[in-house]
């Protein structure tokens, strides 16, 4: 461990940690500079989402509001290859999940899937990166039990009603046995109306999940 400490210190000297939001050089151990920290407000929102077909409700926790620096950083994370941001968001998401669902022992964590075409172009699924990172923070295994079977229109271009229609029949479960009787934490990058999360949660419940809760980085 001592050697690892020296190695980490050397790395910090050669590649000093930088603020994820403005790239300013930081003191070892810090992740966000003081100026940016002041501009980011943690809202710790809990959104209640009703699943249209079953009438069941699920809770979605989000540490941040989708605005200012958080919005800019999520766009970088999602579209410009900044995979390293996942860890910073995941820490806050994991904290919030623990505070909001202290009595739930999640069996596994999963993420909202993207189409294989989009994955090929982007090189990664941002929600999976988040889910894997939250999985590490909470020491709960990750399992990609959902799959996107239909290409649909982009949700952000649609009205609330259209969004619900647009996600119908788009997601499917890969492995019913794995889901049956389990408590599942479902992860996405942002939540707007909750249509995407509700479609995925409905699939988990249809395949026998005992309990489903969601977490995202930010609420729009």
Binding site for Zn ion (CB under 5 A): 19, 21-22, 24, 33, 36
Residue placing its CB nearer to Zn ion in the complex, 21 or 106: 21
Sign of CA dihedral 121, 124, 61, 105: positive
CA dist., res. 152 & res. 30, Å (int): 40
Write down the least CB distance from residue 21 to Zn ion, Å: 4
Say how many residues make up the chain: 220
Q: Are 40 and 61 in contact (CB under 8 A)?
A: no
Write down the least CB distance from residue 35 to Zn ion, Å: 6
Number of other CB atoms surrounding residue 59 within 10 Å:
14
Residue placing its CB nearer to Zn ion in the complex, 16 or 169: 16
Residue placing its CB nearer to Zn ion in the complex, 21 or 142: 21
- Please give the DSSP secondary-structure letter assigned to residue 159: -
Residue placing its CB nearer to Zn ion in the complex, 67 or 144: 67
Write down the least CB distance from residue 36 to Zn ion, Å: 3
* Cα-based distances in Å from 80 to 84, 94, 184: 11, 24, 29
Full 3-state SS string of 80-112: CCCCCHHHHHHHHHHHHHHHHCCCCCCCEEEEC
Q: Are 134 and 166 in contact (CB under 8 A)?
A: no
Q: Are 214 and 203 in contact (CB under 8 A)?
A: no
Write down the least CB distance from residue 83 to Zn ion, Å: 19
CA dist., res. 101 & res. 15, Å (int): 38
Write down the least CB distance from residue 30 to Zn ion, Å: 10
Residue placing its CB nearer to Zn ion in the complex, 19 or 213: 19
Write down the least CB distance from residue 134 to Zn ion, Å: 23
Residue placing its CB nearer to Zn ion in the complex, 64 or 106: 64
């Amino acid at each position: 461990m001592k050697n690892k400490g020296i190695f980490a210190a050397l790395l910090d000297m050669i590649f000093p940690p930088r603020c994820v939001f403005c790239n300013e050089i930081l003191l070892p151990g810090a992740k966000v500079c003081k100026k940016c920290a002041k501009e980011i407000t943690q809202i710790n929102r809990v959104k209640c989402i009703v699943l249209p077909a079953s009438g069941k409700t699920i809770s979605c926790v989000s540490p941040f509001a989708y605005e200012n620096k958080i919005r800019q950083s999520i766009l970088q994370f999602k579209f410009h290859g900044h995979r390293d941001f996942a860890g910073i968001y995941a820490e806050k998401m994991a904290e919030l999940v623990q505070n909001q669902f202290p009595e739930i022992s999640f069996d596994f964590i999963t993420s909202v899937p993207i189409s294989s075409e989009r994955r090929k172009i982007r090189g990664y699924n941002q929600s999976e990166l988040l889910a894997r990172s939250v999985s590490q923070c909470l020491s709960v295994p990750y399992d990609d039990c959902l799959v996107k079977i239909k290409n649909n229109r982009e949700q952000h271009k649609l009205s609330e009603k259209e969004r619900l229609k647009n996600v119908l029949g788009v997601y499917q479960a890969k492995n019913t046995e794995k889901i049956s009787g389990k408590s599942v934490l479902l992860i996405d990058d942002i939540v707007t109306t909750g249509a995407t999360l509700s479609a995925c949660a409905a699939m988990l419940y249809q395949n026998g999940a005992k309990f489903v809760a969601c977490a995202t980085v930010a609420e729009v």
